[in-house]
Chains A and B, each alone.
Chain A
């Protein structure tokens, strides 16, 4: 059973702090890794994707990938109350034509 594990939270951080979200996956053949943000009652929105080991930065967001450890993370710098949402980690299922395996999501709460 291929799995993606996330801490469900809630993760609470003060406004302006760095929020760190973590994810581990079991499928060693996975090549593509995604972070989606989902506000309550809404559909997921793509935040970041990463394919190679190391860091990828986009504005206040940094995705980090370590394939050897089967670990992917998302850092949110200067967290804002509007960042409060559930963050879904998704990993492509190898040899399955683009199918993604989603984690349960981490609920982030940024306190003003």
Chain B
């Protein structure tokens, strides 16, 4: 099956610092990657859709300057949480899909704790 690697799996940082999360498709070329956030006991909330070589499309209410997304290659997308604050603490999950397929395969997720 399709494998998506996400790193780091957890991170603790101080308020005001930036955190970068990487998402890699290991055995397929991901034309589209998605970034989600999930709070405890809630479902996934889509933050943005990222297509290789173009700017990400952000969902309503998601600050693009706060959550920087780069999809520089067909196998790598990054999410940078800039100037993180405690309210940004959450479980961030990426998924990847390849051209012509609606199937999304998820990374293992990154648990972010901002002190």
Give A residues with C-beta under 8 Å from B.
31-32, 34, 36, 42-46, 49, 88, 90, 92, 97-100, 102-105
Please determine whether B103 and A43 come into contact, CB atoms closer than 8 angstroms.
no
- Which applies to chain B's interface (DSSP): helix, strand, loop or mixed? loop
Report chain B residues within 8 Å CB of A104. 42-43
Least CB separation from A33: chain B residue = B102
Q: Min CB distance, A107 to chain B, in Å?
A: 9
A49-B109 contact given A44-B44, A88-B44, A102-B44, CB 8 Å threshold: no
Q: Min CB distance, B11 to chain A, in Å?
A: 15
Please determine whether B46 and A88 come into contact, CB atoms closer than 8 angstroms.
no
Interface membership of B106, Cβ < 8 A: yes
In the bound complex, how far is the Cα of B93 from the Cα of A100, in angstroms? 14
State which of B49, B93, B107 has its C-beta within 8 Å of the C-beta of A97. Answer: B49
Interface membership of B108, Cβ < 8 A: yes
Q: Which chain B residues in 67-115 approach chain A with CB under 8 Å? A: 93, 97, 101-109
Report chain B residues within 8 Å CB of A44. 44, 93, 106
Report chain B residues within 8 Å CB of A32. 102-103
Least CB separation from A49: chain B residue = B103
Q: Min CB distance, B4 to chain A, in Å?
A: 9
Please determine whether B104 and A98 come into contact, CB atoms closer than 8 angstroms.
yes
Report chain A residues within 8 Å CB of B93. 43-44
Cβ contacts A to B, 11 pairs, < 8 Å: A32-B102, A34-B103, A42-B109, A43-B106, A43-B107, A92-B102, A98-B34, A98-B49, A98-B101, A100-B104, A103-B43
Please determine whether B43 and A42 come into contact, CB atoms closer than 8 angstroms.
no
